[in-house]
A and B are shown apart, each in its own frame.
Chain A
Amino acid sequence: MNIEGYNFPDDLYFHKEHTWARKEGTIIVIGVTDYAQKMAGTVKRVQTLEEDDEVEQHKPFGTMSTGKWTGKLYSPVSGEIATVNEDLDGEPGSINSEPYGAGWLIKVKLGNEGELAALMRVGTPDFAAWFKAERAKHQK
């Protein structure tokens, strides 16, 4: 779904800290939203925890540098990292160009499927309220 020029695919789960999760069997693919990459600007570096490391829902699992700012990446789910997108080491620009495709960050072996219920889906009142609040904060 396109909302005010920002793409939020219907099949994803969204975390309030601007990361997304896509369920592929027992694996959860994680990345940053189109909105986040547009607000942040050109991504220059990304660094995440490594394969076999544990991530925890709502906790940082990496950092992303854009211009002269280094921000944290928050995990939408808990679990063990199965794969890290090593293509981003050399070309993090795909986070900007394909945030829901080649710009994915990590794949996690889902530990607790119930955690997905705590995330937002496009088209729900929770999502609409969150997006409105975020827009207000970013437009100040």
Chain B
Amino acid sequence: MTEPLALLRLGPLPWLETQLVYHTLAREHLEAVVTCSSKERYVCVGYHQDLAAEVEIDYCTANGIGLFRREPGGGAVLLEPAQAFYQVIVDRHREGLPRRHDLLYEVVLQPVCDALRSFGVDARFAPICDLLVGERKISGNAGGEVGDCRVVIGNVLLDFDRSLMAHVLRCPSEEFRRRFAELLRQQIVTLDELCPRPPSLRMVEERLSQAFDQRLGPLEPRVWTRELQQRLEGFAPEYTDAAWLLRPDSRRGTGRRVKVREGLYLCQDDPAAPERLWEERPPVGRDDTTRMGDQS
């Protein structure tokens, strides 16, 4: 018999804590489902990414946009207050969950589909880990191993500043940036745009909690204790250290390949020739072009 997962409904948090919460739980080996949101906007890159190659650091710094490198994989994302976060932390060998990460995503993201459908939004899972409405993305997800746990993290977009996203990600030319923003407008959709009466963050968090309880539960509601907060603060220096944040990627190339959604990339191979810009649509699972700085 496996122990029930804890449910931590944390609501709005300082931006850094939205990342440190699940790192702390995983490293303390505490299995849980967390729902929360960020009080501030920030940019978060995946474990193997090169922040300087992916993100306009100066722009972010000048505009008070925080920067973070997470342990799970995936690409650079702009995280904002109008996004509902969910984080699932389970033991690496927890019974009842698929070992293959592509299957784990499918199981863990089903509750998010349920929650979206409860608002009348016809969301569906799209491998490897996207949630789409029609062909447009409404949720971003990533995962990996932290401590002795597997972690799946993601968000539901209530609103999304596509223009800001195009400014915080490093683009080799202004034409690239313009096309990227255009693709984001075409390929991403939000709850505010889909629902005649858009739900509040609190309501989305409520539905997510209910859906996770039904699919992965019953969950045990818990509170974030002072002890956990102290542990979080103990881990903070490690994750905010400049050497961790700015760790370079030996594979950095001269070109640029930015992911718009699963199966769609905007590419440019020569910064001096902005007209040589193209969209790439590799089959899912075959998006392994490596000649350029990859953001997937």
A residues near B (Cβ < 8 Å) are: 39-42, 44-45, 47, 63, 65-72, 89-93, 134, 137-138, 140
User: Is B46 close to A, CB under 8 A?
Assistant: yes
Chain A binder among B12-20, B117-125, B140-148, B211-219: B140-148
Which residues of chain B are within 8 angstroms of A92 by Cβ–Cβ distance? 290
Least Cβ distance of A73 to chain B in Å? Answer: 10
How far does the alpha carbon of A88 sit from the alpha carbon of B47 in the complex, in Å? 17
Q: Check if A67 sits within 8 Å of B145, measured CB to CB.
A: no
In contact, A70 and B72 (Cβ under 8 angstroms): yes
Residues of B within 8 A of A93 (CB): 288, 290
The chain A residue with its CB closest to the CB of B101 is: A69
* B194 → A minimal CB distance (Å): 24
- CB-CB under 8 A from A66, the residues of chain B are 73, 101
CB neighbours (8 Å) of A71 from chain B are 101, 144-145
Q: A45: which of B97, B145, B251 is its contact (CB, 8 Å)? A: B251
CA distance A138 to B101 in the complex (A): 9
Within 8 A of A (CB), among B219-263: 249-251
Which residues of B (118-177) have their CB < 8 Å from a CB of A? 128-129, 141-145
Interface of B is mostly: loop
Query: What are the residues of chain A within 8 A of B296 when measuring CB–CB?
Result: 44, 67-68
CB distance from A20 to the nearest CB of B (A): 18
A-B contact count (CB 8 A): 86
- A140 contacts B142, CB within 8 Å? no
Q: How far is the CA of A68 from the CA of B141 in the complex (A)?
A: 8
Question: Which single member of B48, B98, B103, B249 contacts A70 (CB below 8 Å)?
Answer: B48
Q: Which of B71, B74, B250 contacts A68 (CB 8 A)?
A: B74
B197 adjacent to chain A (CB < 8 Å): no
The B62-87 residues at the A interface (CB cut-off 8 A) are: 71-75
Known: A65-B48, A70-B48, A90-B251. A44 touches B129 (CB 8 A): no
Q: Assuming A67-B102, A69-B144, A70-B72, is B129 touching A45 (CB within 8 A)?
A: no
A65 to B46, CA, bound (A): 10
Contacts A67-B296, A70-B46; A41 near B99 (Cβ below 8 A): no
